[in-house]
Amino acid sequence: MSWLDCGGQPLDLSQPAIMGVLNVTPDSFSDGGLWVDTEWAIAHAIELLDEGAAIIDIGGESTRPGADAVTVSEEIDRVIPVIQALHQACPDVVLSIDTSKPPVMRAALESGARMVNDVNALQADGALEVVADSDCGICLMHMQGIPKTMQHQPDYVDVVTEVSGFLGGRLQACADAGIAVERIVLDPGFGFGKALQHNLALLANLQQLMKLQRPLLVGLSRKSMLGKITGAETGDRMVASVSAALLAAQNGAAILRVHDVAATCQGLQVWQAMREYTQPDFI
């Protein structure tokens, strides 16, 4: 369980790996569309890699609460030039395509992406087939509802059991489609149709999701739950984000999806030093 098969190459997960967020959207909620230009996107990706990211997650459609959908061609026009250029500049880096649209997945995989990050867990028509036809890594995320309305009234009887049940079902759907389990990582989907108490229940009980026997990816970076807890605005949540990432790592998360890569790496170094001291056999 300490590696993920991404495009035929193992991604080491014996220590938590950092997935750096690269938004190529004009309306993305925390970067405010700073990185819309291809050249700037590439420069930012290289910065994230230098800071310690193992994966770059490239997204062309904002999934922030209330965001409008974009068309397939618009999304392709935004992300494909960035993926092609990054693949050429850094062929060994794991590039992840953040999309729910099968044609965008296919175009990205053909351009060098080695992972699909789907907040819709491959439920779109044809999505399972695109991933089954390739050898990419795949992140299956839980969401209740759709981005436009998901935060209106999140509703669960037992959020941890329900998220776990959903992810188990999608794991089975992948197995039925012929996708090797070694390629799959699971994500509870913090903030995707979840109130603060649901997010906290999931963070505190990540171990329960580990019973599905797949590595966990978590995205807590700059999210509104951190704003609710601290009162800090989106651009001022780095300390809260790093703290949340460390708590997730402590509770078993294998991949941390973050905006502030350097700060998260620094936090992880402290956590790892303590872990190596207390559990030398664990390394």
Active site residues: 223, 257
Q: Which is nearer to ligand 8Y7, 106 or 142 (CB)?
A: 142
Decide if residue 248 touches ligand 8Y7 (CB under 6 A): no
Given candidates 22, 187, 237, 264, which one binds ligand 8Y7 under the rule CB under 6 A?
187
Residues in the chain: 283
Decide if residue 163 touches ligand 8Y7 (CB under 6 A): no
> Which pair of tokens denotes residue 124?
């779109």
How far CA 157 is from CA of 154, 161, 175, in Å, comes to 10, 9, 28
CB of 281 to ligand 8Y7, least distance (A): 31
Q: What is the C-alpha separation between 45 and 134, in angstroms, rounded?
A: 24
CB of 4 to ligand 8Y7, least distance (A): 13
Binding span for ligand 8Y7 by CB under 6 A among 1-9, 35-43, 56-64, 266-274 = 56-64
Given candidates 42, 141, 159, 160, which one binds ligand 8Y7 under the rule CB under 6 A?
141
CB of 259 to ligand 8Y7, least distance (A): 7
Q: Which is nearer to ligand 8Y7, 100 or 111 (CB)?
A: 100
Given candidates 219, 238, 245, 261, which one binds ligand 8Y7 under the rule CB under 6 A?
219
Given candidates 194, 198, 214, 257, which one binds ligand 8Y7 under the rule CB under 6 A?
257
| Terminal Cα-to-Cα distance of the chain (whole angstroms) | 14
Q: Which is nearer to ligand 8Y7, 107 or 202 (CB)?
A: 202
> Which pair of tokens denotes residue 51?
């800071």
Contact criterion met (CB below 8 Å) for 140 and 120: no
Binding span for ligand 8Y7 by CB under 6 A among 3-11, 81-89, 183-191, 235-243 = 183-191
Q: Which is nearer to ligand 8Y7, 106 or 259 (CB)?
A: 259
Decide if residue 20 touches ligand 8Y7 (CB under 6 A): no
Binding span for ligand 8Y7 by CB under 6 A among 35-43, 59-67, 173-181, 245-253 = 59-67
CB of 233 to ligand 8Y7, least distance (A): 14
190: left (phi over 0), alpha (psi -120 to 50) or beta: beta
Q: Which is nearer to ligand 8Y7, 124 or 282 (CB)?
A: 124
Residues at the interface with ligand 8Y7 (CB under 6 A): 21, 59, 63-64, 98, 117, 119, 139, 141, 187, 189-190, 217, 219, 223, 257
